[in-house]
């Protein structure tokens, strides 16, 4: 059987970016993505696509990149790898909605290989509601479990726990949201071929649109108060803290001299940091109580 190449994987991610952008524009209904094609002096480049001030999305980005070159020493040490050239490609998405009842969503699917022959896939999807609605959380996790179960029954519980541990704001002692799935370094060591792993990662990417469409449904036009809007900005502040303090993808992009505008696309248009802010509504208080690891959202 012919082995899948890095070029074919990169083309697959390009197609995924195209399909998701088209679907998100349709879901938003009021704005279109603007594309910025860029190149990296050390090798490779990408397509950054940003949508602003839409009917649903206040700011969102769907980015594709395929970069290559000598691996920086900092990355070699962090990943415990021998000196070699690298190739990395993938799609990264963050959508920040206008209505505080609608959650933030993030997805990243990626492939990494080195000239030594080392390769792996990584990625995941997670949801960050400003106000948690348990029934919506259940539906979101059901989408992810179905995708995982199509490939391996062990994937969902393992990758759900990984997401709980990864998307955790340590200095706040709270999860970033309701989690989702997260995985890294999927290779042939799990007894699966590169094609097997690629099929799984590609289906994770294809789960993005139906999962978010259901998360948005019935919430995008829900009335909200000034308190709800301020709460949204406070929760966005927590999102910023995680991305700048803990997120490995942000650090990898900056350490490999990636395009700063594209890397920081994940940050919201507005966020607040109020000293010792306290929740003002029942829903806000309940949300803080649900920002915990290990919640079984499906049962």
The token duo for 272 is 């607040």
β partners of residue 106: 94, 126
Strands (E), 40-118: 44-52, 57-70, 85-97, 104-114
The token duo for 133 is 């609605």
CA dist 255 and 39 (Å) reads 16
Query: Per the residue annotation, which of 106, 130, 141, 143 is the catalytic one?
Result: 106
CA dist 152 and 132 (Å) reads 29
The answer to whether 106 is a known catalytic residue is yes
Beta 179-186 vs 104-114: how paired, if at all? Answer: unpaired
CA dist 129 and 137 (Å) reads 9
Distance of CA 93 to the CA centre of its chain: 6
For 161-183, letters b (16+ CB in 10 Å) and e give: ebbbebbbbeeeebbbbbbbbbb
What stretch of H or E contains 38?
strand 34-39
Positions marked catalytic = 106
């Amino acid at each position: 059987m012919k082995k899948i190449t890095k070029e074919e994987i990169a083309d697959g991610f390009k197609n995924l970016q195209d399909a998701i952008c088209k679907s998100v524009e349709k879901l938003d209904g009021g704005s279109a993505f603007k594309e910025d094609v860029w190149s990296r002096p050390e090798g490779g480049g990408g397509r950054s696509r940003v949508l602003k001030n839409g009917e649903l999305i206040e700011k969102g980005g769907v980015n594709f990149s395929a970069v290559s070159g000598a691996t920086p020493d900092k990355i070699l040490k962090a990943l415990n790898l021998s000196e070699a050239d690298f190739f990395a490609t993938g799609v990264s998405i963050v959508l920040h909605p206008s209505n505080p009842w609608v959650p933030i969503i993030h997805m990243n699917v990626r492939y990494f290989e080195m000239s030594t022959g080392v390769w792996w896939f990584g990625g995941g999807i997670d949801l960050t509601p400003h106000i948690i609605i348990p029934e919506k959380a259940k539906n979101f996790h059901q989408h992810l479990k179905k995708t995982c179960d199509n490939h391996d029954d062990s994937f969902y519980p393992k990758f759900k726990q990984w997401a709980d541990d990864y998307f955790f704001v340590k200095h706040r002692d709270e999860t970033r949201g309701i989690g989702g799935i997260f995985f890294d370094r999927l290779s042939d060591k799990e007894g699966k071929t590169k094609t097997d792993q690629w099929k799984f990662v590609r289906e994770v990417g294809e789960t993005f649109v139906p999962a978010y469409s259901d998360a948005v449904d019935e919430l995008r036009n829900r009335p909200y108060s000034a308190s709800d809007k301020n709460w949204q900005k406070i929760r966005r502040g927590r999102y910023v803290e995680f991305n700048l303090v803990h997120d490995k993808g942000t650090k990898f992009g900056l350490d490999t001299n990636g395009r700063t505008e594209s890397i920081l696309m994940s940050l919201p248009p507005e966020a607040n940091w109020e000293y010792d802010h306290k929740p003002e509504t029942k829903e806000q208080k309940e949300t803080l109580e649900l920002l915990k690891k290990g919640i079984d959202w499906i049962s």
